[in-house]
A and B are shown apart, each in its own frame.
Chain A
């Protein structure tokens, strides 16, 4: 396991250390095998054999933490906090959560956050919502009431029932503090803080058990499966219903798991999950720090960047989840959402608040590529960039890595262009003329140049320095004259859907895909296509697949994978 959390650094408080030790003592037995035989969920009739996804130890993300707090304590408990940046692995920050580390500074941040949340939870106006019992005396300890409250909070934050000894420890801390402070609620806050800062809350530790139905295979245990599903589909810890299903074992049955997954996909919380997934896949983290030269693009502000990100996420969720649309149509759809600051950059009329907006049929805006988010994020602070835009399209949307430029590359031709080189096309032409550059730029620039009708802030333009912009280009042999043509070409590109499948699968399992997953991805692609490229169907297929919850200790033999069926299931 590549996780390098230094538990020895969790020494901020004695309570934290106790919690850390408790975690260490129960997160180990992930790979003890035992034979079993039987088929898994019904959905895998045609699923090929794969190595599956091993259990992981992952650091909780900021949004996962906040979404969980919102469920446990109410939506208004939302501390203003930023967690340390994660490493992007194979196109996803989510995969970097299992390579993260925790240093003293981060630990202090976690503790302060926990402290603030605990303090806010016991505020008189909130305590009736979170604290389900009344102490006999508000100025003294009440063990029964404390136990009732802490068992619920601990169960939700740890994603499994609290062991009796742990609960007893928490109650003891709450009671001792209450007596000392002469305040039941203040004492309770101490124990709540202890839960919130515990490694069991901040780290998502998956554990496995031998699969009784498949000899030689392992599977996630019930609570780990509940967590994996919940973080995948809701970007939050499991709720009461999921924990109940784990507690009763329902989630480990084919029918029970299908019922749970269907419930989760039908839930409004799926939107949170999909926002998190696409935010990750589109590399929107960079929108947090995106800025433009105020002299060149005065209309682009920090608020614009924030709203541009929101515009795309709203569009994605509306199209894929609310309207259950074809994923490919996201790249040609003229339906989107606008806010007043964003509309000012588009120079379009709008109304107060976020509103659904339909670009006219003759508009140059067609799909996500023409959103300000994509156009501005993949440009320079003071100019557009066909190369960055083309590279982003390849890497983010088609899962095609583009090599980094050589260290000794000479950018002077771009940064100090000749006077006659008025457009970006004029300036980047030398890329394709220089054999050293052409290898990579041939796969990026012809795509990016199609987006040149939008400047570095994403605003529409037809000319650059007085010269008419030529936005023609090609994508893997498909020619077009402008970005609308590029959008259509991308819509029909087979890599578009297979990339989403790859990302969705890796995101769900928390594991980087390898060659061993080829057949599984092929199967998922076939299912995705058969379902009309509806993302909820893809999520369901992945969530119900054997490989989502099971894994082999050794990779399957090649012959085994080859003989597995890739025909879409017809359940």
Chain B
């Protein structure tokens, strides 16, 4: 139960808190205005920022001493030099074929991976192997983040502005990603909480600048078409930091083009959360092993070659790098199919509405701008 600061306790707030403790109402007690945080032993957060956890040294040459990677136009020129007889099948279609149906055939073009031992992420396997990194922030060893190795010398993934998981895309798309913490007694220390992921259905609320997202919005959960995104994790909170067990997770596609182009979800194996919690936000990392194919396919379905060219991402070599550095879940031939990764994530508080639950205070009908009414309680 959230504790009100003594200076904030007014007659109103006190009575509201008492009403809350007494569990008034059949569904949820009507909360006191402005009281964000844990209510009825639960709290919701919605993702507002998501990006590959790519450590960038002050000087790119430290990590990428030769160069950053070529993009599609440069690679195309090298793969299909302008000499001899050229056909569409042998050039453009060949390129597209490699892009959408990549092979293991060796390509005669350079591709650069990150050098060095410094990198961000999470220690996923509890070990400190030769390929693992050391955190530049905490000095933690054994950081598993082979995606960083594979893409860290590609401009698209370095500054976060044009990478596949551009933050704005998650905000704009209908694939809102919500986590709800339940069985919460304290956001500071609690040995046993449940974290459940959902797809949300409502737009995020921005502040006056339009660039930041406000806590205190509401999200109706998609439990019908978004069932595959619902996954529960056991977790604990220590000193305000939430950590969870590792479980497989399907992340809804993050792309403004997703509804139109059908970008695939990314499958993460052994995903886990590590978030700093407050009443209004939850920031930190999500880490796990990304299924190489869905990661790669998502990348290209959300941005075509033209867009990838803006940031130097060439599909054929990217796929080979991902497969080369994949470090988990081998197939029957011994080829690993998943690659360790971490996501830098930010969430803000939202009021979570389960489809069948009544929202305290809401009388029961929703109206469109034109004043038409629709029932919002049993829409699912």
Contacts and interface: CB of A to CB of B under 8 A. Distances in A.
Given A349-B351, A364-B12, A340 B203 contact: yes
Nearest to A462: B10
Interface stretch (A79-87, A352-360, A533-541): A352-360
Nearest to A342: B205
A349 B215 CA distance: 11
A120 interface: no
B16 A340 contact: no
Contacts of A357: 361-363
Given A299-B214, A343-B218, A347-B34, A462 B13 contact: yes
Contacts of A294: 207-209
A359 B33 CA distance: 9
A359 B361 contact: yes
A363 interface: yes
Interface in A437-492: 459-463, 466, 468
B29 to A, nearest CB: 9
A348 interface: yes
B36 interface: yes
Interface string B208-238: 1110101111101000000000000000000
Interface residues of B, number: 47
Contacts of A460: 33-34
5 contacts: A340-B202, A349-B359, A349-B361, A351-B353, A468-B7
B371 to A, nearest CB: 8
A271 to B, nearest CB: 8
Given A360-B16, A362-B16, 13 more contacts: A292-B208, A335-B363, A340-B205, A340-B217, A347-B216, A349-B31, A351-B359, A352-B220, A354-B367, A355-B363, A358-B363, A362-B12, A468-B10
B327 to A, nearest CB: 42
Given A340-B218, A344-B217, A362-B15, A355 B376 contact: yes
A362 B205 CA distance: 27
Interface in B330-380: 351, 353, 359-369, 371, 374, 376
B104 interface: no
Nearest to B16: A362
Contacts of B365: 355-356
Nearest to B33: A460
A344 B205 contact: yes
B201 interface: yes
Interface of A: 292, 294, 297-301, 314, 335, 337-338, 340-341, 343-360, 362-365, 459-463, 466, 468
A264 B372 CA distance: 21
B35 interface: yes
Contact of A363 (B33, B202, B207, B353): B33
Nearest to B364: A356
A299 B217 CA distance: 11
A464 to B, nearest CB: 11
Contacts of B9: 462
Contacts, number: 135
B19 A360 contact: yes
A338 B207 CA distance: 18
A364 B32 CA distance: 10
Contacts of B362: 338, 349-351, 355-358
B210 to A, nearest CB: 8
A352 B9 CA distance: 31
Given A340-B205, A344-B205, A344-B216, A351 B366 contact: yes
B8 A462 contact: yes
Given A362-B15, A363-B33, A466 B220 contact: no
A357 B8 CA distance: 25
A349 B201 CA distance: 14
Nearest to B362: A355
B168 interface: no
B15 to A, nearest CB: 5
Nearest to B280: A347
Contact of A358 (B36, B208, B361): B361
A297 B208 contact: yes
A246 B214 CA distance: 55
B30 interface: yes
A347 B376 contact: no
A354 B369 CA distance: 7
B199 to A, nearest CB: 15
A314 to B, nearest CB: 8
- For A346, A355, A358, which residue has the most chain B Cβ atoms within 10 angstroms? A355
